[in-house]
Each structure stands twice: as structure tokens, then as C-alpha cells.
Structure 1
């Protein structure tokens, strides 16, 4: 077993000797003083702390060791009153070591441990695991069980655990990885845990460390088993934690929720904690939280939830290992099935190369339909991959060009392929993105001090080529982005950047990442950190929105913050999802004349310029629709050395002159070099039928009445323009054309919205009847909202005073328009 800490000299014999000297005092009823503790340490270690034989922090570790030994010797779960009484006789832990603080080594107080054991409701046939066992206080009071598994990362504490629990299996893994690294051990039916709250191995300071440990424990415990977890106070179903909460508890039932505000006083910290009882079965995650101060206040209100029956596990043979790799991530689905599920034994999920065969001769084209060809990977055939759920097509121009023979072989969790979590078309993207990233743009360049371009320079750096994913809606661009990042994650590139349109898409990113086996806590929004402070995440997927990317405050910018986190040698993925949001980077002619480049487009290009070795992925359904939509794609090698265009300006000018035909040629050339792909959903088999609504006489009368009313308003508007001096009433001349145009524009837009709502309401009886007819036939119905009036609502809210906001009364109906 390899220690994850630098091993200190073995001192377990001295610690156990000192602990045994304390046992009579613990078994009695006298108060245990610091002097008694120091005396036991001096006798066991052969000297004082002043001599360097031991430290005050070690003496408290020995005290916890002695307490665990005393509880184990009793052979039964201590009564809560007895545990509280013993805690009162122990000295307060007033000394902390840097190691204790760094690794959040705050052991469970005995009274809290006793309550946890009671809530666990252990059975004689249970296999119990504690993933962060410390000195064993949490499990010392367990009744007789079948087997005990203890995991502790600190080697000194592991030695003490072996002395306290000689029959237990003791390991030294990272508690956040137990679901994979302990896959060969027998699965526990009960897990008791008190994870570190804010430190993770490899991440350092990690605000979500406890969540990672809990997620791993839920995956590790047997179906039907129980997890009793002591968690930080911030982990509950709040607005900030809502997504992570629902993802973490997606496949379990929450039986008990307790909040304690003063449970850790004797162990040197005053933090509040939450105690959760979780059963791995289908159920609800909403429950009333019981709030108390100390454990003594909780006893009378405590209810022990009954255990569920364990679900038998069918024997599942482990897949044959075809290559190297570490089982770091497993395929999990992001949402629980609505119907009862069949649980099977944990199958190994090796990280294996994705097998495929290369076609020297491109795959033949399928039969043309209109201007489209059915899509198929033109150069590769996968050993094991499913078809896309819905047939894909590509344009005839794109389909007639085969992709090049790729050289990249991605490595993904084995079940990601065998369980067809990615279709063959999506796997092809992972292959060709990796293939593109093996190439570099010709020449050495460095960022231009003026503007957003690159300039050739002998002291510059080579820029890695990028890849453009131009798939349309339904092809699963988010899933493909997650798969590309996962391929690089498993190759050791643990820092990646996912840029998207808005914060709401953070949930979608988590959904796609967890669907492939990642943890929700891996995808963290940049907004968690203030703009002027460093990002403290050592590894993970940094989720950034385009508005955030361009933001600044004083001298601090989000762009600089991201670059500082990534580092100059960053070689992870930068995924520009919804990349057309950077489309205005080149500026150009707009409806109101010449316009400057967009700030978020400029920020996106600067990010690429400052990280030359980054693996850039562009994802947009409108990539090759207009030349400005490629101006931000500086990693495709469309201009510069060994091309027909000296710079970006020349490329934009000449391609714009060539129109859509020139853009089509650009897309074909990019596909031929393996840098671009664009698929869309096929509409084969889709039928259209127009649902006609006949206006009733009553509806016609209502429409005519409102038309007459708007005619009156129109005449009133013309009179108002005359009275306010916008129009000369005598000569009919316009005196202020801008004011007149604005007034009429406002009038016409209000009128259009009014009649749009009126006609919609008139059609609803027929629409609702059709919906009910389809539902009765057991068919699915999808309604599209063309307008949600969100912009109007935002304007109205912005106009409200604080008093009006306190008593909201907003009307966005047609009446309000009038």
C-alpha cells in the first residue's frame, strides 16, 4: 500500500502505550486533566515535549486513540448520556498542527459519533466502511457486524487504527476516489462518514471536498444500503447548492436531516454541522430539518429510520482488460429512472483506448435526399459504438468530401462505449478533435501588442490548431464537448475551460459531464471567485460565460484571472460552446453603419492568443453561415503562413466578396483537413399537418371591437403629435422626424403584441382540444413558446420603485399594452 503522505517515523507503539495508560482514567468517573495526559505521554515516549519526543497535538491524538480503545473494550454502543458525560470529562483540544488544519483532521466527538451509530441502525450481516476513519471514534461504538473496512489517508492514524481494530481491513486511499480505487473490495452495506470539509488531495483548498467524498460513498455503498454522513453546514438544498444537491442525491432517499450548531466545541472548532441519513433506494430527498444546539438537546427528538432490504446483486463478469489505464470515472446516468431498477454488482470500468478501424477508401455515400446525404463516418469504423438515436444528415457539398485518416486514439471509460453513452458520430468528434490537436499552425507567433491579432516572430511560440464542431440542434454538442474534455482529463490534463452563453447552461454542462461518469463538483463556475482573487481550484472544469469573460473592474479582469489560473503552459481544452457569441470580433458593417468588434469576441480571441498550447474546440451550429462567424476561429489556420490570405482582414474581405459559395468552399476545405464537421438531424419520416381554427362569430366580433378601439388610439396619437409640436397641424409637416418615428414605432409594436396575444387566445380552444386528443392516444405533445415576454418583464421590473417591488402587481396582458 502506497502512502499518499510523506511517511513519518512509526510511533504507533508509543501512542498505543500512552493510550493504554489513560484507559483506567477514561473507564472511571474522574476528570481527565492535561497534566494526566502529559504524564502518560512522558512515560510512554520516554521524555517530554520540550525534549522533542512528542508534541501537544500528538497528545490529543493519543487521547482520541485511548477513547476509541475504551469504547471498543466495552463491546457495546455507549449510551448517549454516558458518551456526553465522558466528553465533559475530557480536556478541550486547544492545540492544532498545520497538518491537522491542512487536511481538516477534526475527529468526530464521541457523543456525535454515538448518535451517528444509532442512526446507522447497523445489522449483524453489515459490511461497514468509514472512508475517512481518523482515529476510529465514529465506528468504535458499532455493535457486532460482519466486517469493518477503514480507510484513512494519514499513515500515523492508520497505524493507530490497526491497533484499535485488529480485525478490520485498513487502507490508505483518497476518500473521494473510493468508488473506483476500492472496486476490488467487497461492497459495504453501511457507510459512516465525516469527510474533510474544505481540503482535497490534488486540489488543495477545495470548498466542495465534502461533496466529492459523499458522492463517492453513495456510488460505493450497495443498493439498498445506508450512508450516514456528517456534512458541512452549507450543504443543503439552497439556491447556491441546488444543482449539486440534486445531482448528488439523484438516486437515493433522504431519511433524516439534522443540524447541530455546537457539536464540536471539545474538538477545537465551533462550526455547525448537518447529519444526513441516506438510503440508496428510490425515494424523496425533501425532508424537514431538525435543528438543535448540542447533541444533548437532540436525544428526545431523535427518531431512528428503519433500514431497507439490500437488493441482491447479480454476478457480472468483469470486462477483459484491453489496455492500460486507471478506473477514475465510471459511467453513471444523471437522473434516476422513474420505474424500479435492477441493480447489478459493480463492474470494473477500465479506461481503455477506443477501438476503430481505418478505411483507406472512404465509406460509400448513401442515397441523396433533396440537398442532404445521410451521414456516416467517412474514414473510420468503430469496434463497438451505437448509432445516433436519430438519423443525421449533412449537406451534399460536405458529404462529398471525406475526412482525412486520423491518428488520434482516444481513451475513455470502457462502459462509455459499450453502454453507448456516445454514438458513433459523437465518438468521431472525439477522434478528430484529438487528431486536430496533434497539428500546429505554421510559423512562430506572439500576440500583437496592438489589436487582437498574432504577429510572426522568431521568439514566438507555435500555436496548436483547433477543431470546429458545427453540428445542429439534436446532435448533442454538449455531450461531445464533455466527451472531448473527458478524453483529455483521463490523459492527465486536469484543467479545462468550458465557455458558454449564460449561467443557466451550467446545469446542462453538469448534466453532460456527469452522464459520462464525472462528478458534478468537477464543473465549477468562475463566478464562485471574486474578480480580484485567484481561482483556488487545482483541477477541474472551469465554467465561464461570455459576459463574464469580457467583464472587468478597475485593473482586474476576468480574462487575466482565467489566464493566471491556466498558466502559460496550459494544454487543456478550451471549449467555446455557442461560439457564435464571439461572432462580432471583427466588427464591420451593421444596420446602423460601421461597428467596432464585440468585447466578448475580443476577449475570446485574446484568451486563445495567450494560451498557445491550449486545445481549442469551437462548437456552433452557425459556424460557416457568415464570414464574421469564423473571424474568432484563429486556430483553424485559415490565414497566415502557407495560406492564400496574409491576415484575417484579407480573409474576411475576399471571402465576403465570394458570398455563400466561398464559405461553402472554406467549410469543405476544413473538413478535408480534419478540422470541421457539421451534421444535422434528419427529417426523414416527419409529417406536417396544419391545424386550422375557424373563428367563431363571437371571436370575430371581439376582434372587430378591438380594431375599432385601436383606430381611436391611432387618431389620438396623431392628435398628440400635433399638440406636442412634433407635427405642424396647419401644414401637416413633420417638425421632429425622430420623435415621430419613435412614437409610431412604439405604437405599432404595442399593437402587434396586442393582436398577437388576441389571436393566440382565439386559437387556444382548438389547440387544447388537439392536445387532449393526442394525449388520449398516448402520444407526446411538444409546445413551442415563440415569445416569453422576458424582455418586457425585465424593463417593467427595472422601472419599479422599492415600494412597488415589495408589493408586486405587474400586468403584461393585452390590457396593459392598451
Structure 2
């Protein structure tokens, strides 16, 4: 029933009344009873076309919502949920699904699961309760007496039934994934009960992350300290496939209870397993171990109701800054005056207000080679200082940026709640300013190489922007802000290129911090190389190694270009852009080398999407001319420049050295195409902790040095035996194999002694840590090498019997004892036990070389 006319509404209510009376008895309700109530209510059978079997189950749920509101059983503790299990046993199994139900994934909550959720919510009299996907009201039915009841349901027929069953509740019809903004005028809930659609989204259709979108929106809407109880799909957990998305979604909250139920939906016609989460919007809580049961009855004895957290409405305090004058600190003239009113509840998309200065802001006092950073041409109406003071070089600070005319559009809270600092907002302004300009001339991609050829019938190419900030300035947050600005202007396809897959979590963190959903950012690895990318809108996360990959006639580069489309005008954010630095090739240790494939693919992506808004982000942009060779959108060469092509630019700037690079950076800033800030180190003190080697440690070091000398000699002999070198003629027969062998030997030796020396320093480090901790100070250790790759390799080589009795040695000796069958040589040793004793000696015959012929 897609349209509830007055006659149909009256028929529904007659059938509902009959079923409510039946529910008040203790008898089972059979399919025959259900059909009889429908015939009496509608005045005919389903064969007459007056109703369908699916309609009968909808009316049964509507009757249940009425019945449960008047307390057919007490629901004060977990023990009372057993009565709901008894009621569920009396109901018929739902065996028919409508196309609408399948389309919108409308599977209502079973009455026993709903009762359990309400008990675990620990609802208190003053709570405001929200159900973002209320359906027919089964999950919320026990809460009718609460004054602050907010029910949201997108489907119109179910929304009409909610108005009948809950006349005092606030009923809305928004997409549950957008309630944080669409319900912004309503009081924020302190309790959320939800059973979202699992695989369909409004506007997206099939969406495997629909439930996560709804959950993230509900968590944002929930008051700090509030509780959310959610029924989620079985795949949403800390498993290998969804770990990143799971941890990102629950990063700032505490999971009090995690349950997996296998058969609780049998009465609703499906054997799907689900998960039930009890989440408090407070930080610092670890994810609880998941309790797994087959049914609600089996589960009750294993649960307790977690205590509620305190509700708070206070906003997080603005980071405090020292009031003392610092030569490294940014100017404080951009701090917004205190607002005499509360921030508006609605998070409107508003233009970012700022005043452009005709005369550049005056320079602050120089210290050394740095100037305290300040936006030279912009004063924002409302923007906070950067959490840590920023500086820039004297050469860069003495150049003023141009007067911008671009006005970004961002969520109001992004500015009012200081989610972006003034320096970060300035990047969004100047990036938009650069993207409103185009390179002079028209071009087509070169058929050979990575250049652009001038052609009258070619296309114009949009200018790019280079973000050269150092660590701590928040490059990821600025990339996310630039994408968000364009996202809110309708450009819903964007590309985020980064160094490796582990940075996906960082990208999602920055995106969600500004109001986006973690599921908006999807890695390219979700799709096979020969499949079209099924992402209607979102941010495609690509790594540089993935960008260059190809198989047969298929390549990731073409896959991305096909997804973007010829009219692509979204953002391509090249995070860690120096990863493309080898595009121009150059001189290597072994002579001239060709351009790197990932650099070439990064440039080809730009060449094939002329309308793209290209953002380069790298802290080493101006350190070497090759680190600008990939920046084809900055107008460094080509028409109306001093250099005809990239090769001339590289040759000319390389002759000028670092001074020429500095001039390039200054000119780019003057054009509004480049900025480079760094953290100030004002107030930072350091001292070197020195470890004196003991005589035993010196003896151990000398013994291992002797061992490596023996290995070196035997490796050279192995190269002769494998015809890599000719010992008699002192000639190299296979230079590639020789270079590979020596490179592997030297790198392995270097890692070995690095770990050996680290282990020797640990006694002094541990003593210093204990001293600092005893003084009440904090200690931060940076782990450079964790041996994770070695551990994974060793675990992969173990058979089941060895895994059962696990004993793995990951000491530095691993580098000596392990060989590499795919290399030119394989080295083995027999000094495992003696090598760890101080003063142990070695002989040539103790180390055996085994050439791979």
C-alpha cells in the first residue's frame, strides 16, 4: 500500500483494533487469525485486491506498536525481557516481503530484541529519545510515556501509522543518514534507539555502508554523555575487512556492550545475524568483548545493564595559548571577539566571512631565518589561532600573497567552533582562488611521454595549488577542507591520493572531523582492476603504488579516469606529493634513470582531467627541482613563461641551485599558488642522553663485525661461483645482479647494526624513563622499526604444529640467519648460539655460502 487513502486508513484501523484485542489474550495468532482480521477490516479478501499478505504483516506490526504502549508486561530489568520472548512466540512468521520493503531494507525490530534494547538504554524520565528509522514503531513502543519522543521515518505509509500510534510524538520524514543537519532545530536527544537500513541509502540506492552512515549521523546528533543502542549488520565489527571503518566510527565514543545474535529474526522471515551495540558518547572506553548467542533467551543471563554516563552540553574548550610575547608566534589580530550568544543550532552552509587587506599586514620581528606567520592579506571574521604557533622563512614571509576574491562555503560550525584555524582557512581561500584561473593556452595530452602539446582545438587546463606546510600544520585537515568546500557546491566526486593504505584512517579522521561521514571515503582497492568503480558520489582514496598498477589491458589509471568522467571538476588531492618526484628521471647512483611509474601515472591523471582542481601537498615541495616536475598545473613552464617545457625548467633551475628554487617558491606565493608554514619550536628544550658502551657490549659488537666481514667475503665468492663476476679477469659479467646482491647485503647489515645498537642503549633509556615517570612527567617514545614485516613473514612460514607451540626469535640475528631464495645468493650460518656470547669468535668455515645455480 503506497498510498493511504481515507478508506484504506479506516480499513487499516479496523483491522488493527481486531488484532490488538487478539494480542491482549494469551492465545497464539495464526496466519488464519491474521487473514480473518484483514478480511473484517477491509471488507474482502486479498484475492479481491483489497490488501496483500505483506500488508497484513504491516498491520500486525502496527497493532503490536499499539499493544506494547500500554504495558502488557513490566519492562524494568533484563528478567522482564522474557515476557517479550513469550509474546514473540505467539506471532506468525512473516513469509512475504514487498518490493518497497526490499528496496528500503524495511525489516522491523522483533519485539524481544526491541525490549532488550529499551532495557539496555536505561531510559530516565527526563530523556529526549530519538528513533532515526522508526518503521512501524516496534523499537520505540515501550517509550510512549516520555514527553520528548522524536520519531523519524522516510517511508510515507509507515510514517502515517506512526502518527496514529504516537499522537504526542514529533514525527518527521527525513533521510536517517542526514538527521544531524535536518533535525538541527529539534532538541538534541540523550537516548537514540535505532535499527537502520543495512544496504540501501536515499539517493545512492544500493549502499553497503548505509547502516554506518545512519550510525555516524545519530552519534553526531546525540548529546555528549548520551546513550545509543543500535541494531547493526553482522559485518560491522573489528574484523579484518571493516576494522578501519569500525574503529573510525567509534573512535570518540565508548562501546559498553557488544552482542552478536544469530537467529533473532526468524519470525520476520530471515535468518540473518545481527549485532547489538550499547554506545555512550564519552571517550576513553575500550570496545567490549562480543557476546555471541543464538537467541534473546540464551543471551539474558550473560548481560548486565551498563550504568549511564553524565549528560553534558558544554562545548570543548578552545585550546589555551600562552599570553607572553613570542617572536615565533603568529600575530593574534585575527582572533574573533567573544560572541555574546550561543552558536546557532542549525549547521547552515555559509560563506566564510573575511576582509581582504589592500595593504599587506606588517611583518613581525625576525628571529634567525624565521618570521612568525600571519595571513598577509586576510582577516577572518571568526577563526581561531592554530593550536601551535606557525613560522615561515624570511624569504617567504617577506612576500605578500595576492588579494583573493574567492569565498569558500563551509558548515557554519566549521568556523564558529574553530574546527579550522585561520591559517588552514587561508589555504581553502587561496586554493579556491587558484582554481578559478586557467593556464594560458590550449593543450592536448602528448601521445608519447607525459607532456602537454599546444593545440588550437585542445582544452584549457585549470591551475593548481601547492600546499608546502611542514609537520603539524595539518595538511590532511586542509586537504579535507578543500574537498568539503567543493563537495558542498555540488562536486561530489573527488580523488584523494596518498602514500599508502594505512593513511586511509588519517584521511577519514580529518574528513569526519569537519562533518563528513567515514563511509564517504572509499579505497580504490574495494574494486577489482577490471571492474568499473561503483561509487556514485564520494571521495576515492588511491595510493601511489596502486595508481601505477596494471594487469593486461586494464590499469588503475584508466579505471580512475573512466570513473571521474571527461567533465570532472572535483578535487584531486595529492597528499605526500613528493612520491611523484621521480617523474622527470635524472642521475642515479648507477647512471641516468628513467622517470618513476607512479610519478608518470600521477601526471597522466592530471593531463587527462583538465578541469580537475589539483591540490599538491608536500613539505618538501621546494627542496629539489624534481619535486616540482610533477606540478604541471602551476604554470612553471609553457606559454607566457621563461621556459618552453619541463626539461628546460628543470635544467635551468638546477643550474641555479637552492637559490633558484627559493625564487620559484617566492614567485609562486606572490601568484597565490603556494604556501609553506612550519611549526615554531619556541619553548622547546632538548638534551642528549648518552649511553656508554660496556666492555661486554663492545666485545659483542666486535664479534658481529667479524661475522659480517666473513659473510662479505663469502658473498663475493658466491658471486664468482654464480658467474656474476669473473674473479680471474676482475670483471663484472652481470652488473644488475651484482648491484642487487651488494645493495641487499649492505642494507641488511645496516639494519642489523641499527637494531644491535638500539638494544644496547635500552638499559639507559629504560632507566631514564623510570626516572621521568617517578617525577610525574610524561614520556613519549617513537618507534621507527617494529619488525612487523619480519613477524608476518615468519608467521606465514609456520605450519599448524609450529603455530600451536609458538616460539619466534626476532632479534637482530634474524638478518644474518635468513636467506633470500629469489636473490643471487643465500647465506646461512651456524653461530646462532655462540653469536650472542660476549667475545665469541668466528672462522671462515663457520659461515657457509650456498650459491643458487
With the length of structure 2 as denominator, give the TM-score of the two structures.
Answer: 0.82
Q: Is the 8 A contact 1:205 1:537 kept in 2?
A: no
Change (3 A) 1:687 1:106: closer
CA distance in 2, matches of 1:16, 1:290: 40
Query: How far off its partner does 1:787 sit?
Result: 5.3
Query: Where in structure 2 are the equivalents of 1:482-561 lying within 5 Å?
Result: 482-561=480-559
CA 1:794 to 1:623, structure 2 compared with 1: closer, same or farther past 3 Å?
farther
Q: 1:128 and 1:783 mapped to 2: Cα distance?
A: 44
Instruction: Spell out, residue by residue over 1:23-80, the C-alpha distance to the aligned partner (whole angstroms, 9 max, x if none).
Output: 3444445554545544544554455555554444333222221222233355655865
> What's the CA shift for 1:575?
0.6
**Paired position in structure 1 for 2:467:** 469
Deviation, structure 1 residue 633: 1.6
In the alignment, which residue of structure 2 is the partner of 1:329?
A: none
* Distance in 2 between residues matched to 1:294 and 1:605, nearest whole Å: 56
How many Å separate the matches in 1 of 2:789 and 2:247? 30
Q: Check 1:802–1:527 CA distance in 2 against 1; reply closer, same or farther (3 A cut).
A: farther
**Alpha carbons of 1:583 and 1:715: their partners in 2 closer, same or farther (altered >3 Å)?**
closer
Give the whole-Å Cα distance in 2 for the aligned partners of 1:594 and 1:372: 37
Tell me, yes or no, if the aligned pair for 2:260 and 2:273 is still in contact at 8 Å: yes
| 1:145 corresponds to | 146
Residue 141 of structure 1: SS of its match in structure 2? helix
User: Corresponding residue for 1:64?
Assistant: 61
Shift of 1:163: 1.0
Moved more, 249-258 or 673-682: 249-258
Alpha-carbon spacing, 1:28–1:796, altered in 2? closer, same or farther (3 Å)? closer
Q: Secondary structure at the match of 1:128?
A: strand
Residues 563 and 607 of structure 1 are in contact (CA less than 8 Å); yes or no, is this contact kept in structure 2?
Answer: yes
Q: Larger deviation: 486-495 or 269-278?
A: 486-495
Query: Once the 2 structures are TM-superposed, how far is the Cα of residue 160 of structure 1 from its aligned partner?
Result: 0.7
- The structure-2 alpha-carbon separation of the partners of 1:24 and 1:778, relative to structure 1 and needing over 3 Å to count, comes to closer
Following the alignment from structure 1 to structure 2, what is the Cα–Cα distance between the partners of residues 449 and 51? 68
Q: Paired residue for 1:189?
A: 190
Alignment deviations for residues 707-765 of structure 1 (CA, whole Å, 9 cap, x no partner): 56666667777888899999999x89668696888777666656555554454444444
CA distance, structure 2, for counterparts of residue 678 and residue 577 of structure 1: 14
| Aligned with 1:400 (options 398, 401, 405) | 398
Change (3 A) 1:348 1:809: same
Distance 1:81 1:733, change over 3 A: closer
Alignment CA distance shift 1:588-1:54 (3 Å): farther
Q: Deviations over 1:658-682 (max 9, x none)?
A: 4434333322222111111112233
Q: Does the Cα contact within 8 Å between 2:408 and 2:429 map onto a contact in 1?
A: yes
Query: Counterparts of 2:360 and 2:366 in 1: how far apart (Å)?
Result: 17
Instruction: Report the equivalent of 1:330.
Output: none
CA deviation profile, 1:309-333 (whole Å, cap 9, x unmatched) = 64364699xxxxxxxxxxxxxxxxx
Aligned partners of 1:699 and 1:82: how far apart in 2?
A: 71
After superposing the two structures, state which structure 1 stretch, 411-420 or 374-383, moved more: 411-420
Shift of 1:439: 1.0
The Cα offsets for residues 429-465 of structure 1, whole Å up to 9 and x where unpaired, read as 1110111111122233343444433334444433221
Aligned to 1:16: 13
What residue is the counterpart of 2:230 in the other structure? 229
Give the Cα–Cα distance (whole angstroms) in 1 for the partners of residues 202 and 509 of structure 2.
25
CA distance in 2, matches of 1:140, 1:384: 45
Cα distance in 1, alignment partners of residues 2 and 597 from structure 2? 48
Q: Say if 1:227 and 1:774 are closer, same or farther in 2 by CA, change over 3 A.
A: closer
Task: Tell me: CA distance 1:268–1:532, structure 2 relative to 1, closer, same or farther (3 Å).
Answer: farther
Query: 1:560-639 counterparts in 2 under 5 A?
Result: 560-639=558-637
Unaligned stretches of 5+ in structure 1? 317-343
Q: Residues 77 and 142 of structure 1 are in contact (CA less than 8 Å); yes or no, is this contact kept in structure 2?
A: no
Contact 1:249 1:285 in 2 (8 A): no
SS in structure 1 of the partner of residue 142 of structure 2 = coil
- Contact preservation (8 Å) 1:727, 1:736: yes
Q: Which has the larger displacement, 394-403 or 447-456?
A: 447-456
Q: In the alignment, what sits opposite 2:311?
A: 311
Give 2:812's aligned residue. 813
Per the alignment, residue 427 of structure 1 pairs with 425
SS of the aligned residue for 1:510 comes to helix
CA gap of 1:777–1:80, structure 2 versus 1, over 3 A, is closer
User: In structure 2, what is the Cα distance between the partners aligned to 1:489 and 1:32?
Assistant: 52
Report the Cα distance in structure 1 between the residues aligned to 2:612 and 2:731, rounded to whole angstroms: 59
Give the deviation of 1:702 after TM superposition. 4.8
Q: What are the superposed Cα offsets for residues 176-197 of structure 1, whole Å, 9 maximum, x if unpaired? A: 2223322322333322211111
Give yes or no for the alignment of 1:219 onto 2:220. yes
Q: 1:101-120 residue pairs with structure 2 within 5 A?
A: 101-120=102-121
Distance 1:16 1:182 in 2: 30
> Which stretch of structure 1 is more off in the superposition, 708-717 or 132-141?
708-717
Rounded Cα–Cα distance in structure 2 between residues aligned with 1:567 and 1:27: 60
| Contact 2:756–2:812 (Cα < 8 Å) also in 1 | no
Secondary structure at the residue paired with 2:135? coil
Post-superposition shift, 1:595?
3.0
Structure 1 residues 134 and 371, CA gap change in structure 2 (3 angstroms): same
Structure 1 stretch displaced more, 56-65 or 96-105:
56-65
Q: Compare 496-505 and 461-470 and name the one that shifted more.
A: 461-470
Match of 1:298, SS? helix
Measured in 1, the distance between the counterparts of 2:313 and 2:723 equals: 84
- CA deviations 1:96-150 (Å, max 9, x no partner) are 2222112111111223223323333434443322111111112223474334221
CA contact (8 A) 1:84 1:111 kept: yes
Q: 1:456 to 1:125 in 2, by over 3 A?
A: same
- Cα deviation for residue 505 of structure 1 reads 0.9
CA distance in 2, matches of 1:34, 1:225: 41
TM-score by length of 1: 0.86
Q: Could you tell me which residue of structure 1 aligns to residue 258 of structure 2?
A: 257
The residue that corresponds to 2:245 in the other structure is 244
8 A contact 2:787–2:810 mirrored in 1: no
- SS of residue matched to 2:616: strand
Structure 1 Cα separation of the partners of residues 600 and 142 of structure 2: 61
Task: Tell me if the contact between 1:16 and 1:65 (Cα under 8 Å) persists in the aligned partners.
Answer: no
Query: Does the Cα contact within 8 Å between 2:230 and 2:278 map onto a contact in 1?
Result: yes
Q: Please tell me whether residue 130 in structure 1 is matched to residue 131 in structure 2.
A: yes
SS in structure 2 at match of 1:412:
strand
1-structure distance, mates of 2:71, 2:635 = 74
Separation of aligned partners in 1, 2:125 and 2:309? 13
Deviation at residue 206 of structure 1 after TM alignment: 1.9
SS at match of 1:129: strand
Match of 2:840 in 1: none
- Partner Cα distance (2:546, 2:726) in 1: 49
Determine if contact 1:16/1:160 at 8 Å carries over to the other structure. no
Q: Give the CA deviation at 1:408.
A: 1.2
Shift of 1:789: 5.9
Unaligned runs of 5+ in 2: 317-341, 817-834, 836-853
For this pair of structures, how many residues does the alignment match?
785
Structure 1 residue 234, shift from structure 2 partner: 1.2
Distance 1:453 1:204, change over 3 A: farther
Aligned partners of 1:315, 1:623: CA distance in 2, in Å?
Answer: 38
Indicate if the aligned counterparts of 1:206 and 1:536 stay in contact, CA closer than 8 A.
no
The alpha carbon displacement at 1:235 in A equals 1.5
Please give the alpha-carbon distance, in whole angstroms, between the structure 1 residues aligned to 2:669 and 2:751.
44
Counterpart for residue 340 of structure 1: none
Residue pair 1:440, 1:464 contacting (<8 A) in 2 also: yes
Cα distance 1:707–1:381, how it changes in 2: closer, same or farther (>3 A)? same
SS at match of 2:115: helix
Q: How does 1:663-682 map to 2 (within 5 A)?
A: 663-682=661-680
The answer to whether the 8 Å contact 1:757/1:814 transfers is no
